[in-house]
Amino acid sequence: MTAMRMMPGVPHDLGATFDGDGVNFALFSAHAERVELCLFDDGGHTETARLTLPEYTDEVWHGYVPGLKPGQLYGYRVHGPFRPEDGHRFNPNKLLIDPYARELHGTIAWDPAVYGYVLGTEEDADLTLDEQDSAPFMPKGVVSDFGLDARRPAAPRVPWDRTVFYEAHAAGLTKLHPSVPEELRGTFDGLGQRAIIDHVKSLGVTSVELLPIHAFADDHRLEDLGLRNYWGYNSIAFFAPMGRYLGRNGLASFRDMVRAYHDAGLEVILDVVYNHTAEGNERGATLSFRGIDNFSYYRTMPDAHRYYINDTGTGNTVNTSHPRVLQLVLDSLRYWVEVMEVDGFRFDLGTILGREPHGFDPRGGFFDAIGQDPVLRKVKLVGEPWDIGPGGYQVGSFPPGWAEWNDKYRDTIRGFWKGENGLLRDMAARVTGSGDIYDQRGRRPWAGVNFVTAHDGFTLADLAAYEERHNEANGEDNRDGHGHNLSINFGAEGPTDDEEILGLRRRHTRNLMATLLLSHGTPMLLAGDEFGNSQEGNNNAYCQDNPIGWLNWDEIGEEGEAMTRFVQDLTRLRAGNAIFRRAGFREEVVLRWLNPAGGDQEEEHWDDDLARAIALFMVCPEATEGFSEALVLFNASENGVSFTLPEREEGRAWSVQVRTEAEGGDPVEGAVILGPRSLMVLA
């Protein structure tokens, strides 16, 4: 190994920081006894130097190597007690990923050496110490000088009440797109291609929400099955992008993609996973945090620190109650905003971040830190307000300034259009912004992110074609994924040539899409729903990095093009008429729910479990944008329903703006016949 000189350096900037003359290395570990920096050749195969970090300040180990340049590959070996029963799992035989690494070289190879214990089936196997060197099987950090651009272009800053999310997979969106050069498909370069951006822009959405792009691990079990992690909810480095998504210009390819979307007036939102890591439970691998300071980074059982609190369902839970771990998350978020220029975040299992030792706390350290941060408090923040821990379901409980995924909206709207009983009252609340949940502490209707489909579950087309999940390709005997999907197949499971069934499916998907885009709140579309993308009935395609999980652009056809135009018409209607996207619960919009006879909905109507037809009459006398009056007619019954329409002043008449029936009559003498399972918008 090369003899190199190491100076004390500074503890303030964690990670590997290039200053023009050398690199400062700083690593937090409260319980380590010694930290070694390992340097590697350009291929990452040969360790060229091993240096002990000479200083320990405020629980940070640090040192400075003069002459070191960007591009240098590195990792850490951390010495300390191996006492799993006390929560300590130090093992210097294991090369560890720097939590602050900006880029990773290579991927994890699932050799037994990457485990900190001797693999075995014995109950106490994790109490053994494995002495194999894991370096040949581990990715290495890359020293980077990619930093903030002081000349960064302005971001779109889309107002919340005009926001429409488009949830997409960074690679799956382009893998099969015929207009994206084959060598760019599945990369950030491909994602930034004009054909992709033009399509997204044409839909009338404002903000692309990307599934996780932080570096993640391809699960050992999946690789054994010939599969790999596709969705990416298995993070192992919070600053580094996933290597296989990087384009020709490395880290710059991500920021170039973001700027291309900004040039088109579109925001880029990242789905981030700070609630757990890829290291799993006590029988997981030692890749980074576990070997650096297991007891600080993870929540362990109070009376048995060998075991992890598993509020995430993944084996471990990141301990954001620890100030240094909280700092890691905040530093990561600021990096993606300031350096990579993203516009906001959706937090997977977001309740975990608000968990304190006593439980979920909307005034906990994480939320308080975000709210006071001059960078982060200005970006879009969306929480997934649930986890599997005690009291983990917290829809409506996030602090002001946050939006939340609203699964009550999803389930109610799916159930209503399927024809479930007793949902009229709940449906009315969801369509008008879920004020029963969000009308508190000055929160606005936009705080509820409405969706009927997302990456997790059936696509919109499959929601109308399958009543059972078909996840056999996942290798779990079709036991994974949701079993209760509120889906309907209209008489045939999967593909069919029956025109009557196909017509019902088209109407069902249009009903769901129209309800979503004309409800108050923030709508989110799943990429591909605009043209009928199918996953062949797989409602848990987390491991399908193949045509099952990718968007099938070649199969759009005339029906897909018609559905795309329908979506475009709806987003134009929403954008041009504030009455469909009221900015606050106190706005001067009068809402009246009418029964088909034209009268106000009374208690006996609300309490009728079999009622499936209702009208929403919205009046905004002082409207400065678009219609001053609008009427949305809903009929989820099997029969046509005659609706008596509110009377108009002489010379004014109702005009049909949207109908989900293939054909339908215009209003005649104050009434309209709405066909079975259909929706109509009048203005």
Residues marked as catalytic: 348, 384
Spatial separation of the C-alpha atoms in residues 522 and 516, rounded to whole Å: 9
Instruction: Tell me the three-class secondary structure of 428-465, residue by residue.
Output: HHHHECCHHHHCCCCCCHHHEEECCCCCCCCCHHHHCC
Question: What would the two tokens of residue 275 be?
Answer: 């609630």
Q: Exposed, middle or buried: residue 2 (CB in 10 Å: 0-12, 13-18, 19+)?
A: exposed
591 three-state secondary structure: strand
For residue 344, the number of C-alpha atoms closer than 13 Å in the C-beta half-sphere is: 26
What single letter denotes the amino acid at residue 10? V
- Phi first, then psi, for residue 478 (nearest 5°) are 60, 25
User: What is the rounded distance in angstroms from the CA atom of residue 539 to the CA atom of residue 495?
Assistant: 16
DSSP string of 460-499, one letter each residue: HHHHTT-SS---GGGTSTT-SS-S------TTSSS----H
CB 538 within 8 A of CB 473: yes
CA distances from 203 to 30, 121, 197, 467, 535 (A): 50, 53, 10, 29, 21
Q: How many CB atoms sit inside 10 A of residue 651's CB?
A: 5
Give bridge partners of residue 272 from the DSSP assignment.
Answer: 347
Write out the two tokens for 233: 């909810």
Sign for the pseudo-dihedral over CA of 17, 21, 22, 28: negative
Angle at which helix 251-263 crosses helix 194-202, to 10 degrees, equals 40
Cβ atoms of 512 and 413 within 8 Å: the answer is yes
Residue that is written with structure tokens 């909810």 in the block: 233
Helix (H, G, I), strand (E, B) or coil at 336: helix
